[in-house]
Structure 1
Amino acid sequence: MSDVKTGAVSAMSSSRRRTQLEGFYRRYSPWLVARLRRRFGADTEDLVQEIWLRMEAIEADLDIRHPRAFLLKIAFNIGLSGDRQTRRRRQILDSAVPLGAVTCEPAQDAVVQIQEIVLALPQPLRDVFVLSRFGGLTTNQIAERLGISPKTVEWRMTKALAQCAAELRR
């Protein structure tokens, strides 16, 4: 009898889970597609599909306080670990401190905004920025790790900071 009850509870929670995921998808999918398309161009279908596959794999309840931040964090994590990154970039970014956690912080919107700004930087500028600001590396350490001159690191950092400041002023 307990196996029958367990099966019924599991079927109910599976059905509830599916309903939650479908509601989550209907509510946030248009926003997510628009946001990613704006950041990465027209080629976002694979990324969006991967995000929803990861959402489906989450076994926890989908009662998420900051769903947009959560979806962007999944996109960020896919970008770090996905096939679109070369092995070298993956090692560089994996050595840096994550840009932010999907936790219940009062400044969550600011964290999401900063993540979006950093993710929008061209890859060479982003690598230097992330290693400097989140990885704590010096100019010489970044130059050595990326195989570029310290002057190039300084130039890229200046450009990255200027682009970030311009985005924050908008």
Structure 2
Amino acid sequence: MSGADILHRKHVDGLFRAHYHWLCTRLRQSLNDAAGAEDIACETFVQLLQAPGLTAIREPRALLTTIAQRLLYQRWRRGDLERQYLQQLQQAEPIHAESPEALAQLSQTLTRVDRSLQRLPGKVRSTFLLSRIDGLTYPQIAAVLGISLRSVSDYMTRSQALCDRHSANQSLNRPLQNKRSA
């Protein structure tokens, strides 16, 4: 660990000690959920730790509020998507009953996809989800995440490469079907 990294960690530690409780209180007012507020506050400081070249911050509470609001937006959007998905599942007519094996395989596939996405750095994962799940354009993603269009494009390339690798692995693992039984 370099001297700059140590100074960076000490700086973020000082910010944490000075502003963590304030940020939790502020988030509790928005969420009405103490545990959720603490989760978002912690994630806010994790993102600060991961920010390269963080220099002296003139308005730390403004920065913390901005990061926390982005995380809140992501949390609310994810909750909206989950509710929409569950609502669609409840309204959907099953075409045919899936076998327990097929359901287990689907569950395993979703778990692998989720693990793959979790391995991506936060902004890469957020960029992918905002594009593919939320349907945002690159300029909209850049505005939400506070990054450049070039970064959005690079992050999408990285996440697409992950999807391509996952898809290739899935096609290799898929059993061959007997044409007569199909």
Larger radius of gyration: 2
Please tell me the TM-score bracket, short chain as reference.
0.3 to 0.5
Alignment TM-score, normalising by the size of structure 1: 0.44
